[in-house]
Chains A and B, each alone.
Chain A
């Protein structure tokens, strides 16, 4: 995989991205569909950062298909990737 994790995608290979709290506002939409090849969470964050440099990603945690994952987890087509700023429920 290239450092950015870019590969050639087939039709329908998109990853669904959910942006919560301030990120939804900074991106301008709470959900995105991006055509991304399989890539690690770390590569995904770099890719996202380069596409949306104005999005504040410090302290953001990543969940894939509703589970917190580590940096080396592999994101695949049709996954749902959630960008979760520090939570403040309760």
Chain B
């Protein structure tokens, strides 16, 4: 697959550019997800966000997610663009496009991609609010990590590198 299906950029994202990458004659559906910067999180006001990425590894992780998607939903095609740098309220942080012959797979695969991005893609956001700023990890503390690091149980075994390079 062409590597520009997966992009980290510091420029505003145009969603149609992402969906165009997965457009093809076999597809009967394209789902397009836009992740946007939310102002209020449980009543707490965000002024703006800053995203940081490990770009080369992030692209590799996106490619791995694309591969996982094709294993689970054959004949889907995924493209992801994630923005880094300063983002204002309502700016688009991430765009995920999935094409598939039929819509069900396109919907399901698209949701799978965003869930996996939140688990294994090295991108972080720093929230600037009225009380200062903080790095957000483990979003909304939905998970706890009693064992401390490393949190490898969250990562499928085949994501791990056992080679000695």
Interface residues of A (CB under 8 A from B): 18, 20-22, 24, 41, 45, 57-71, 73-74, 76, 82, 84-90
Of all A-B residue pairs in the complex, the 5 with the closest CB atoms, nearest first, are A89-B123, A67-B161, A86-B137, A21-B124, A86-B138
In the complex, are the beta carbons of A84 and B54 less than 8 A apart? yes
User: Which residues does chain B contribute within 8 Å of A20, judged by CB atoms?
Assistant: 52, 54, 122, 124
Write 23 A-B pairs (CB below 8 A) sorted by A numbering: A22-B135, A59-B145, A60-B150, A61-B149, A63-B122, A67-B160, A68-B161, A70-B162, A82-B122, A85-B135, A86-B138, A86-B151, A87-B123, A88-B118, A88-B123, A88-B137, A88-B138, A89-B51, A89-B82, A89-B122, A90-B94, A90-B114, A90-B123
- Interface flag for B164 (CB, 8 Å): yes
Between B60, B114, B152, the greatest number of chain A beta carbons within 10 A of the residue's beta carbon is seen for B152
User: Which residues does chain B contribute within 8 Å of A62, judged by CB atoms?
Assistant: 149-150
User: Which residues does chain B contribute within 8 Å of A85, judged by CB atoms?
Assistant: 124, 135, 137
Beyond A86-B138, A88-B118, is A68–B93 a contact (Cβ under 8 Å)? Answer: no
User: Which residues does chain B contribute within 8 Å of A22, judged by CB atoms?
Assistant: 135
User: Which residues does chain A contribute within 8 Å of B161, judged by CB atoms?
Assistant: 64-65, 67-69, 73
Q: In the complex, what's the smallest C-beta–C-beta distance from A36 to chain B, in angstroms?
A: 16
Cβ contact of A68, chosen from B114, B135, B160, cutoff 8 A: B160
Q: In the complex, what's the smallest C-beta–C-beta distance from A14 to chain B, in angstroms?
A: 17
**Pair count A-B, CB < 8 A:** 114
User: Which residues does chain A contribute within 8 Å of B51, judged by CB atoms?
Assistant: 89
User: Which residues does chain B contribute within 8 Å of A73, judged by CB atoms?
Assistant: 161-162
A82 to B114, alpha carbons, bound, how many Å? 23
- Interface flag for B56 (CB, 8 Å): yes
Q: In the complex, what's the smallest C-beta–C-beta distance from A55 to chain B, in angstroms?
A: 12
Beyond A58-B149, A61-B151, A89-B125, is A66–B52 a contact (Cβ under 8 Å)? Answer: no
Cβ contact of B164, chosen from A57, A58, A63, A74, cutoff 8 A: A74
Beyond A59-B148, A61-B149, A68-B159, is A89–B121 a contact (Cβ under 8 Å)? Answer: yes
Cβ contact of B136, chosen from A68, A76, A88, cutoff 8 A: A88
Q: In the complex, what's the smallest C-beta–C-beta distance from A50 to chain B, in angstroms?
A: 16
Cβ contact of A70, chosen from B53, B117, B150, cutoff 8 A: B150
Closest-by-CB residue of A relative to B94 is A90
- Interface flag for B16 (CB, 8 Å): no
Closest-by-CB residue of B relative to A82 is B54
